[in-house]
Amino acid sequence: MGARETAESFSGHRFDEAYGQLHEDVRWAVPGHEPLIGKAAVVEACEETAEHMAGLARAEFTRFVVVADDRVAAVDAIGRYVSHDGTTSVVSSADVYELDADGLVTTITSYAVELDA
C-alpha cells in the first residue's frame, strides 16, 4: 500500500486498512492536544473512533481531495456525520502523513474545525 492509499484509508475512517502501514513509533499530532505516540496508542484511538462512528445513522464525505508522493500525503476533507436522532455535525479536516523510506507512516498531523451544519 502506497502513501496515497494509506492516507485515503486512514482519513476515510477505514483505519484497519492502514494499521499495517503505521511505524511502531508513529506520532499523531492534533494541535491543541497531547500527541499520541506509538502504533498501539494510535490504533486504540482509531478503534474508539470507529466504534463511535458505527453508532451513527450516516457518515459521508462531501469533499475528499488527496495529494501524495512517495514520502508525504495530504487529505483535505469535509465530512457530514448524522446521528440517529438527526443531529448533524459537519467537519472540515486536513491530515498530513509523513512516511519513511520503507513506506511506513511516521507522523500524522491532523487539523479539524466544525462547520455550520
CATH pick for 3-115 out of 3.50.30.50, 2.40.30.10, 3.10.450.50, 3.90.226.10: 3.10.450.50
Measured CA to CA, the distance from residue 64 to residue 78 in angstroms comes to 7
pLDDT in tens, 9-62: 999 999 999 999 999 999 999 999 999 999 999 999 999 999 999 999 999 999
Q: Where are the domains of the chain?
A: 3-115
Cα-flanking dihedrals φ and ψ of residue 62, to 5°? Answer: -100, -10
Predicted TM-score (pTM) of the model is 0.93
Measured CA to CA, the distance from residue 10 to residue 38 in angstroms comes to 16
Does residue 117 register a pLDDT over 80?
no
Measured CA to CA, the distance from residue 6 to residue 70 in angstroms comes to 11
